[in-house]
Amino acid sequence: MQNKIQKFDAVIIGAGAAGMMCAIQAAQRGKSVLIIEHTKKVGEKIRISGGGRCNFTNLNVTTDNFLSNNSRFLTSALSRFNQHDFISLVESASISYHEKTLGQLFCDGSASQIITMLTEKMMVENVTIKLSTIVQSIEKNDAFKINLDDSAIEATSLVIACGGKSIPKIGASNFGYLIAEQFDLAVIPTRPALVPLVFAHSDLTKTKPLAGMALHASVTCEKTKFEEGFLFTHRGLSGPSILQISSYWQEGKSIDINLCPNVNLYETLFNMKAEFGRKKIESVVSEFLPSRLANIIITQSGITGNLADQSKKTFE
C-alpha cells in the first residue's frame, strides 16, 4: 500500500546540471522543490566532462553556437542567464578555473567542485533530493501525479530534465522522450551529436597505426567549418573539431579534413623543389606533419623518391 501522497510546488526528474540549476532557481522563487534521480549520484555527466575537470562554460557563448528550430527561445534564455552569470556563480564558490582554447573554461581542480557547488546551493534552498528512485508512471489531472516504487508525489509543475540517450553507462535513457510522447509533445527524431566518428573495419586498417596522435586541423561539412584539435583513435576520429562537426554531418554528406590548415602544402612543396629537391619526400612532408602521419600518407599514396622527382600532379 502506498504512503500518503507528498505534495510539492515543483518536481524535477533528473539531477544533472540542468535539473540541479532548475531546482535552485525554482526554490529561490519560494517554491517547494523535489528533484528525483534514478541513479545513486547527482551530476554524473558533470563528473566526467572535460576530462574530469568540467568545461563548465565558454566565454564566447551566443545564439549562433546552438542548433535549434526556435532561435527566439535561445535569445530569451541567454538574456536571462548567460555564461557570465554562471562564471560569477563559480567565482562565488571560490572555484579556480582557466581558459584552455577558444574561450573554453575548465576547473583548475576537479569537476566534483562544480557538483559540490550545485548540491550546496540546493541544500541552502531546501531542495529535497531523492536518489536511486525510479519513476514508474506519471499522470495529469488538476496536478501531476508521479508514481514511484512505494509512494506517490503530487506537483503543480513537472520538469523533465533527464537528458537524452548519450551515455547509457552512466544511466542515460529514452525516458524523457517517452514522457514527451505520452503528453503528445512533438519529438524530433534523435541522432548522435557531439560524438566521435567511428570507421568501418576496412577503413580502420589505414588509420589505426595513428591512434593517439593529436594535431590541429580544419574540418568542414558543407558550409560549416571548425578549426580545432583533432585526434586519431583506435576506432576512428575524435577531438573538438570532429565532435563539433558530428552535429552537422548526416548520412550521404562528405567531411573534408585539412591536417595542415595554416599552410598551403601544395604550393609550399612545389616551391621547395628547387632548394630542397634532394630531400626524400617523406622527410619534407614531416616538416609540416607528425613524422608517423607523413610516412603513412606517403606510403599509402604510393609516392616514392626525392622531392625533385615529384610532378605537379603528385602535389595535388
For residue 310, pLDDT over 50 is answered with: yes
CATH architecture type of domain 6-54+110-182: 3-Layer(bba) Sandwich (3.50)
For residue 313, pLDDT over 90 is answered with: no
For residue 274, pLDDT over 60 is answered with: yes
Residue 22 confidence class, pLDDT cut points 50, 70, 90: very high
Q: What is the pLDDT of residue 1?
A: 46
When pLDDT is averaged across residues 115-139 and rounded to a whole number, the result is 97
For residue 261, pLDDT over 80 is answered with: yes
Residue 315 confidence class, pLDDT cut points 50, 70, 90: low
For residue 2, pLDDT over 60 is answered with: no
Looking at the chain, the whole-number percentage of residues with pLDDT higher than 90 is 67
Residue in 139, 121, 150 with CA at minimum distance from that of residue 35: 121
Q: What is the pLDDT of residues 91-114, one digit of tens each?
A: 999 999 999 988 999 999 999 999
265-315 to CATH, choices 3.40.50.1980, 1.10.8.260, 3.60.130.10, 3.40.50.300: 1.10.8.260
Q: What is the pLDDT of residue 316?
A: 63
Return the CATH superfamily for domain 197-258: Translation factors (2.40.30.10)
Residue in 60, 122, 120, 56 with CA at minimum distance from that of residue 90: 56
For residue 200, pLDDT over 70 is answered with: yes
**What does the domain layout of the chain look like in residue ranges?**
6-54+110-182, 197-258, 265-315
Q: What is the pLDDT of residue 163?
A: 87
When pLDDT is averaged across residues 278-299 and rounded to a whole number, the result is 88
Q: What is the pLDDT of residues 43-59, one digit of tens each?
A: 999 999 988 999 999 99
Higher pLDDT, 116 or 70: 116
When pLDDT is averaged across residues 302-309 and rounded to a whole number, the result is 82
Q: What is the pLDDT of residue 213?
A: 95
User: Edge-to-edge strands of the sheet including 33-36?
Assistant: 128-130, 33-36, 6-13, 152-160, 144-147, 137-140
For residue 119, pLDDT over 90 is answered with: yes
Q: What is the pLDDT of residues 150-176, one digit of tens each?
A: 899 999 999 999 988 888 888 888 999
Q: What is the pLDDT of residue 79?
A: 95
Q: Please report the beta strands in the chain, taking only residues with DSSP state E, as ranges in sequence order.
A: 6-13, 33-36, 55-58, 97-99, 104-107, 128-130, 137-140, 144-147, 152-160, 197-198, 214-221, 224-232, 236-238, 256-258
Across all residues in the chain, what is the average pLDDT? 91
For residue 86, pLDDT over 60 is answered with: yes
Q: What is the pLDDT of residue 71?
A: 83
For residue 205, pLDDT over 50 is answered with: yes
